[in-house]
Amino acid sequence: MYVINDDLALVQTVDFFPPIVDDPFLFGQIAAANALSDVYAMGGEPKLAMNVMCINSRMGKEAVREILQGGYDKVYEAGALITGGHTIEDKEPKYGLSVTGFVHPQKLLRNSSALEGDMLILTKPLGVGILMTAAQGDLVDATLLKTIHGEMAQLNRTARDVMVKYDVHGCTDVTGFALLGHAFEMARGSGLTIHFDVKAIPFHHEALEMASMGFVPAGAYRNREYTAGCVAVQGDVSEAMMDILYDPQTSGGLMIAVSEKDGPALLRELQSQVPCAEIVGYVTAKEEADIIVT
């Protein structure tokens, strides 16, 4: 963030990655939604974007055009503009955006500013990484796959527009570090402990079966290592469920730390537009672990 004046600050972010779906237009949509998400997580509004793209000699012009069109589609939906970009040759195709947004300096949301007593709201279900891994073995049916693709391509714009009306203290988008990795950063940055109730967390139940069968992406194991010694589990929580909590998400939802007095009202308004939003936990003073899963 760069403060321009008392009323305006600039937010700058960049994100790109290799294709995770076969459809080039859909890949462009997902990559763009993922890149835009960081601005929404800070309470900002995206305004400008620049393409970041790697292509190889095997890609036809039509595929390149479709990826760029998918990105444009999401940036346009966000109310922003693509103003150019940069392309290089690489062995593996990649696509994403550098995004510029704006926010009032006093309304900026950080992932390190949760307060004791806050409720935590999650706006998209977990399990996407596990299911995309299982899909490589043709173990995910077409209907579920379409649902997952739609979730990854869904902007966090609506969730952002709703949450800024309330007494929100902190926010992060849940992506590659998974729910527990991003929660760990919020807990450690805020100097507090985050509690999760697994019964309240929205997730794709098919992912539980796939995790039990071993379809867990490599990133989940890295996330376990990242939070080693910082997560305490109380009660009966299955290993497969923990895999879901460590599952890296692509273009995941927002995790919002909101005051206890505003939490129920924020949830009601969110659920009227983002039906899967749920209260998944709460924040307390620092305890023996950064995160406690019950």
Each residue's pLDDT tens digit, 252-280: 999 999 999 999 999 999 999 999 999 99
Domains in the chain (CATH in brackets) are 2-107 (3.30.1330.10), 119-293 (3.90.650.10)
CA distance 167 to 188: 21
Q: Rounded to two decimals, what is the model's pTM?
A: 0.96
Mean residue pLDDT of the chain comes to 97
Query: Buried b vs exposed e over 75-95: b needs ≥16 C-beta within 10 Å?
Result: bebbebebeebeeeeeeebbb
Across 7-31, average pLDDT? 97
216-246 pLDDT tens trace: 999 999 999 999 999 999 999 999 999 999 9
Give CA angle at 15 (11, 17), nearest 5°.
175
- Chain segment 169-219, per-residue pLDDT in tens: 999 999 999 999 999 999 999 999 999 999 999 999 999 999 999 999 999
Percent of the chain clearing pLDDT 70 (strictly above): 100
78 pLDDT band (50/70/90 cuts)?
very high
Positive/negative CA dihedral, 38, 42, 45, 47: negative
Read off the pLDDT of each residue in 89-98 and give the average, rounded to a whole number: 97
pLDDT at 57: 87
- Please give the structure tokens belonging to residue 281: 């936990």
Whether 61 contacts 98, CB under 8 Å: no
Over the range 176-192, which residues count as b (16 or more CB within 10 Å of their CB) and which as e? bbbbbbbbbbbbbebeb
Average pLDDT over every residue of 159-172: 98
Q: Which residues pair with 101 in a beta bridge?
A: 11, 46
Read off the tokens for 40: 């929404």
The H or E element that residue 28 is part of is: helix 24-41
Residue 56: pLDDT over 90: yes
